[in-house]
Amino acid sequence: MCGIVGIYAYRDASTSVDLDELRRMRDHMQRRGPDGSGEWLSADGRVGLAHRRLAIIDLSQRGAQPMHTRDGKLSITFNGEIYNYRSLRAELERKGYEFESQSDTEVLLHLYRDRGPDMLRALRGMYAFGLWDAAERSMLLARDPYGIKPLYYSTHDGSLRFASQVKALLAGGRVPRAPDSAGSVGFHLWGFVPEPFTSCAAVSALQAGSSMLVSEAGVAPVRTHFSVAGAWAEACENAAAWSGDVGEHVQRAVRESVEAHMVADVPVSAFLSAGIDSGALAGVMSDHGTSLHAITLAFTEFAGKPDDEAPDAAEVARHYGFIHHVRRVDEHEFQQDLPAILEAMDQPTIDGLNTWFVSKATAELGLKIAVSGLGGDELFGGYPSFRQVPRLARALAWPSKTPGLGRATRSLLVPALRRLPRVHPKVAGTLEYGGSVTGAYWLKRGLFMPWELPGVLPADWARDGLARLAPEASLEALLDPMPRDPWAQVAALEAQSYMRNQLLRDTDWASMAHSLEVRVPLVDHVLLTQLAAALVHDDHTLSGKRWLAKAPRSPLPQRLVQRKKTGFSTPIDTWLQHAAVLDIWRAQPTLRAANCPWARRYACAIASLQTSR
């Protein structure tokens, strides 16, 4: 796992690459790659690539980047892991391609020469890269199907700049720092900045499952090589004809995914909570290896209380023979780490602090890779939204179609709800938004609603941001093509909205700040295509988690499977009461009135923006 940087002066009037700028961008991401650094400039000075390396596969210098083909016509800077690189390499060797390293990076170079941009459809993994084709004078940017690895770019002043972090682009000194109204509004609506927007107006995110080609002719339209919604839509078409034992099908597919994600030249460890997702993955991992380490995050305030997950996690670790490490965090450590957390937080978010501390604990053990159960809820229907969103949409389908009724009801309720602080303000919009799956999902996942924005943002700024973001249309675009099954619709929304923009992004910045690679076997497009039809075919009255729990050869203990799902609770919101960021919270009347669990995390996220201005 690494940090990547590139500059391509694709316009005739663009200035040549400034090597100092390239280095500033690269070295801002030193923690993403402490094992080495590299840089390359083209002979004409129009292209520059740079890299920070966290050595995982082929630890030798032959795996260093930027990497080039022997003839120098192709160059790449790559962040991620290609889990099927060995089979791809064997295929290329049969065609006569010769390799000089054992790295997956070199496979990408030869695969591009063999297939061009269509290579992306053959890849299984998490990745973001920039690949320079000297013959075509073009730069290919590409990102994995789920968006596990980030890739940001700017085409300001006729030059393409790209990097693994927004703050790295700004560190170069050439990208304007002006904030983006759409990104700001998106954060207030959701608690994260939705792609393709960022907190910076001059910077965009390359969307997940997409690629972009930049040449002397300019920036070509973004191309999609995988659609999560498309996979669920296809599954809905095939679900009726699907046959077989769902449990056995899940077991085989999950085992195969975990085996693929174990490929590494350094030890692989596991994040372990008391939940089914991490426990089941730990069980499957134990089927493939011995003397594995498992790390559990716990909090001093919770010791001996029901919120403490450490005892149940210890039972899982004993069951599967893991070397178990429990790392307890207290408020003092949190306050000490808070400045570093705000600096590492690449874009504002109301989450990610848990991953910061469990990643810190893992890195303290000298480990470079951890497997996470992230994605289990999104794939197997573990969230309440899988039941609640379709139910609300069905109940309000007809009333919501009455012209003007929803807006009129909201106008009447908003003033009344201000006198009822225990009732969430979103209730006012139930009739206006709740009659569709996307609207009901917004009510379930959203923080502020549009009519609340003037309380936290300047009115003109909020109006401009809403117009550019078009939140309702943006959500509907996540369901294009539309899966027929409401359960599958929620699965597509959760994967492409909440998981992509918050969980995966937060996992990236919080883990890479500790030079740790986190792998997510349940966030895998091959696994999705293998399981989606079976899961749609399955009885949605029961969570698919029951099948996941049986994936290891020795299933999870039944007591833990039947344990009530509580989510991962932390005392962080209480700790923030004593933090300096609380001044931001006090200055916001709407936040004070909201009295919501996320209010102080919002203040923390806003504080993170100050580190990039």
- String of DSSP letters for 375-425: THHHHHT-STHHHHHHHHHHHTTTGGGSTTHHHHHHHHHHHHHTT-TTS-G
Q: How many CB atoms lie within 10 A of CB 574?
A: 11
The confidence score (pLDDT) of residue 610 equals 45
Token match 């030059």: residue? 159
Residues 53, 56, 60, 66, CA torsion sign: negative
- Alpha-carbon distance of 132 to 374, in angstroms, equals 33
The tokens describing 111, both together, are 């695969």
pLDDT grade, residue 594 (50/70/90)?
A: very low
Q: What tens digit of pLDDT does each residue of 121-140 get?
A: 999 999 999 999 999 999 99
For residue 508, give the nearest of 363, 355, 402, 364 by alpha carbon.
Answer: 355
Omega of the bond leading into 483 within 30 degrees of 0 (cis): no
**Runs of H (alpha helix) within 40-177:** 85-94, 104-115, 166-171
Residues 61, 64, 69, 71, CA torsion sign: negative
Q: What tens digit of pLDDT does each residue of 526-535 get?
A: 999 999 999 9
Read off the pLDDT of each residue in 396-421 and give the average, rounded to a whole number.
78
Token match 């992306």: residue? 120
Phi, psi of 298 (to 5 degrees): -135, 165
Global model pTM greater than 0.75: yes
Query: C-alpha angle 284/287/289, rounded to 5°?
Result: 110
pLDDT of 187 higher than 50: yes
pLDDT grade, residue 222 (50/70/90)?
A: very high
The confidence score (pLDDT) of residue 339 equals 82
Give the 3-state secondary structure of residue 480: coil
pLDDT of 377 higher than 90: yes
Element (H, E) at 361: helix 353-364
Say which residue, 430 or 602, is predicted with more confidence. 430
Q: What is the mean pLDDT of the chain?
A: 90
The confidence score (pLDDT) of residue 613 equals 40
The confidence score (pLDDT) of residue 209 equals 98
The confidence score (pLDDT) of residue 577 equals 66
Element (H, E) at 154: strand 152-154
pLDDT grade, residue 588 (50/70/90)?
A: very low
Q: How far is CA 455 from CA 169, 292, 464, 511, 587, in A?
A: 31, 50, 15, 34, 11
Beta partners for 324?
294
Q: What tens digit of pLDDT does each residue of 493-506 get?
A: 999 999 999 999 99
Read off the pLDDT of each residue in 561-570 and give the average, rounded to a whole number.
67
pLDDT of 589 higher than 50: no
The confidence score (pLDDT) of residue 592 equals 41
The confidence score (pLDDT) of residue 422 equals 66
Q: Are 115 and 75 in contact (CB under 8 A)?
A: no
For residue 102, give the nearest of 117, 116, 82, 120 by alpha carbon.
Answer: 82
Give the 3-state secondary structure of residue 67: strand
Say which residue, 595 or 403, is predicted with more confidence. 403
Read off the pLDDT of each residue in 277-300 and give the average, rounded to a whole number.
92
Identify residue 148 by its one-letter amino acid code: I
- Alpha-carbon distance of 88 to 304, in angstroms, equals 50
Read off the pLDDT of each residue in 294-323 and give the average, rounded to a whole number.
93
Query: Counting Cβ atoms within 10 Å, is residue 468 exposed (0-12), middle (13-18) or buried (19+)?
Result: middle
Provide the percentage of residues in the chain whose pLDDT is more than 70: 91
Read off the pLDDT of each residue in 163-184 and give the average, rounded to a whole number.
95
Q: What tens digit of pLDDT does each residue of 50-73 get?
A: 999 999 988 899 999 999 999 999
pLDDT grade, residue 83 (50/70/90)?
A: very high
Read off the pLDDT of each residue in 153-167 and give the average, rounded to a whole number.
96
The confidence score (pLDDT) of residue 428 equals 80
pLDDT grade, residue 74 (50/70/90)?
A: very high
- Alpha-carbon distance of 50 to 168, in angstroms, equals 12
